[in-house]
């Protein structure tokens, strides 16, 4: 009888005179992780009560199921999304993913068999985060860790509701940090995810990634998969970013995003040779905005930024993450290399309008056009190289849908009339007849136009 991989002994192998095998004491203890030796059981016990189930309904509109919908548990028919959330504060603030509640008219939160109606406090598509509020007190808020202290190779647990299976815990390790996966939305998406091999599936979105002490280190957001189900890698928004976004949304309803006034790219061997730079890590300044923070700090294209406040810069994703911890008006110290000479400068971060004041998002909702309209910022105008524009979002039943405009399209002019204000856009469209040309920029930054006849 041939040996099987599952059966190490075969017939005829045992001999009565054979020497006994050395006896080893069996160790049936659960694996322990972390410096304090906290078991998975304790980590799960501490974190599971802080994770909720979220159901979002977008009314009775029919929406076809797409690959993205399958990936994150959305369904056709009465458009719905389900996912997970994490209790951020005991008085009812909950963090989840923006894509879980995006477009929802009604959001429900289920916690310990109780169902609450939730209000959306604010969303941030750039980080795919959203904050909800339910009317409750004394909730078990999760303990926050520090994603900056997370090490590759340490244990991580994903807590959520995959496939509507509530309170599910899976274990793995942190397999990478600062991972870029081209997932975020908008011109300034944050691309610096914690990568884990803890199993994450549809429904885990918005759930907790915790360390061996049960502390939150990230919000589970995406998976890398060809099928829509777990295939080895999941990605979480780092908790240091989550904390900043959540506090801004709760306090202002808008993320007070900080800008350095420059664009950067990764430094690789080819770029280092091209610039004749001896540095082997950092980011290269590729563009400096006129009159922006970087320009005022003396930075120039070709400079290689290697440190932010004494923290070494490894990649563009990490650089963006480090900057995202700060607010407009904060001062940071940048270490950089110019002509192979190390230099240093202080830079005062600005907001999207190029100043340091607190900004609140102003969205004009047009029932006639069936869309939300928003004037784009100075920073966006600089990046897109346009003098003005109004972004069209949340397109629903109405005129804009009939025109076939894509969500996120920036209208810069209509029949050569500059569009720099949402109300002006409505007025111009309401009185046009005959041939109409709408010029603008799509979500990929490509300029073009739409042509219609009325």
DSSP string, 223-239: EE-SSSS--SEEEEEEH
Cα separation values, 439 from 64, 84, 396, 405, 431, Å: 29, 40, 21, 11, 17
CATH 2.30.42.10 domain position(s) in the chain: 262-348, 364-453
Assign domain 262-348 one CATH number from 2.60.120.580, 3.40.50.920, 2.30.42.10, 2.160.10.10: 2.30.42.10
Burial of 54 (0-12, 13-18, 19+ CB in 10 A): buried
Angle 316-324/239-252 helices, nearest 10 degrees?
A: 40
Beta strands in 135-244 (DSSP E): 155-160, 168-179, 193-196, 208-210, 216-224, 233-238
Q: Which residue has the tokens 């209790």?
A: 87
Determine the pLDDT at residue 187.
65
Q: What is the pLDDT along the chain (454 residues), one digit of tens a residue?
A: 333 333 232 333 333 333 443 433 333 344 444 444 547 899 999 999 999 999 998 764 444 444 344 444 444 445 578 899 999 999 999 999 999 998 888 999 999 989 999 999 999 999 999 999 999 999 999 999 999 899 999 999 999 988 777 889 999 999 999 888 776 666 678 888 999 999 988 889 999 999 999 999 999 998 876 677 776 789 999 999 999 999 999 999 999 999 999 999 999 888 988 888 888 889 999 999 988 999 999 999 999 999 999 899 999 999 999 999 999 999 999 999 999 999 999 999 999 999 999 988 888 888 888 899 999 998 889 888 999 999 998 888 888 888 888 888 999 999 999 999 999 999 888 887 888 899 999 988 899 988 888 7
Spatial distance between the Cα atoms of 4 and 8, rounded to a whole number of angstroms? 7
Q: Terminal CA-to-CA distance of the chain, rounded, Å?
A: 83
Burial class (CB in 10 A: 0-12, 13-18, 19+), 312: exposed
Taking alpha carbons only, the member of 300, 81, 72 closest to residue 201 is 72
Q: Which pLDDT belongs to residue 59?
A: 65
Annotation: CATH topology of 364-453: Pdz3 Domain (2.30.42)
CATH architecture entry for 39-252: Beta Barrel (2.40)
Cα dihedral angle (402, 120, 388, 417), rounded to 10 degrees? 30
Q: Enter the pTM of the model.
A: 0.79
Catalytic residue numbers read: 99, 128, 205
Strands 168-179 and 216-224: unpaired
Q: Residues near 46 by Cβ (< 8 Å), separated by ≥ 6?
A: 143, 210, 213, 214
Token pair of 387 as six digits = 């003098």
Rounded distance, CA 453 to CA 433, Å?
7
Domain with CATH 2.40.10.120 in the chain: 39-252
């Amino acid at each position: 009888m041939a040996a099987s991989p599952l059966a190490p002994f075969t017939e005829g192998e045992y001999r009565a005179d054979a020497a006994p095998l050395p006896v080893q004491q069996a160790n049936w203890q659960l694996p322990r992780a972390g410096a304090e030796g906290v078991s998975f059981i304790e980590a799960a016990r501490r974190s599971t009560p802080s994770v909720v189930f979220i159901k979002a309904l977008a009314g009775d509109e029919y929406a076809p199921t797409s690959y993205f919908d399958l990936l994150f548990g959305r369904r056709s028919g009465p458009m719905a999304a389900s996912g997970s959330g994490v209790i951020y504060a005991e008085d009812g603030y909950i963090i989840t993913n923006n894509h879980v509640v995006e477009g929802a008219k009604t959001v429900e939160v289920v916690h310990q068999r109780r169902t609450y109606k939730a209000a959306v406090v604010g969303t941030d598509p750039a980080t795919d985060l959203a904050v909800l509020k339910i009317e409750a007190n004394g909730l078990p808020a999760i303990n926050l860790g520090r994603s900056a202290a997370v090490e590759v190779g340490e244990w991580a647990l994903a807590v959520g509701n995959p496939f509507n299976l509530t309170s599910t815990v899976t274990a793995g390790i942190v397999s990478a940090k600062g991972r870029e996966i081209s997932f975020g939305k908008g011109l300034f998406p944050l691309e610096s995810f914690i990568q884990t091999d803890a199993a994450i599936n549809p429904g885990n979105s918005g759930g907790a990634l915790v360390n061996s002490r049960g502390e939150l280190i990230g919000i589970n957001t995406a998976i890398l998969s060809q099928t829509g189900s777990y295939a080895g890698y999941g990605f979480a928004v780092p908790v240091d970013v989550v904390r900043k976004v959540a506090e801004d949304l709760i306090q202002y309803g808008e993320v007070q995003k900080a800008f350095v006034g420059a664009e950067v790219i990764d430094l690789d061997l080819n770029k280092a040779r091209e610039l004749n730079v001896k540095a082997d890590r950092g980011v290269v300044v590729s563009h400096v905005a006129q009159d922006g923070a970087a320009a005022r700090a003396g930075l120039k294209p070709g400079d290689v930024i290697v440190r932010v406040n004494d923290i070494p810069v490894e990649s563009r994703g990490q650089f963006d993450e480090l900057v995202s911890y700060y607010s407009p008006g904060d001062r940071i110290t940048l270490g950089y290399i110019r002509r192979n000479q190390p230099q240093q400068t202080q830079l005062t971060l600005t907001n999207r309008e190029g100043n340091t004041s607190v900004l609140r998002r102003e969205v004009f909702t047009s029932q006639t056009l069936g869309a939300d309209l928003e004037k784009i910022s100075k920073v966006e105008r600089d990046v897109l190289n346009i003098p003005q524009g109004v972004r069209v979002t949340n397109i629903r039943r109405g005129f804009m849908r009939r025109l076939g405009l894509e969500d996120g399209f920036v209208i810069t002019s209509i029949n050569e009339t500059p569009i720099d204000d949402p109300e002006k856009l409505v007025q111009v469209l309401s009185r046009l007849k005959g041939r109409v040309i709408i010029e603008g920029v799509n979500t990929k930054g490509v300029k073009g136009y739409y042509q219609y006849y009325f």
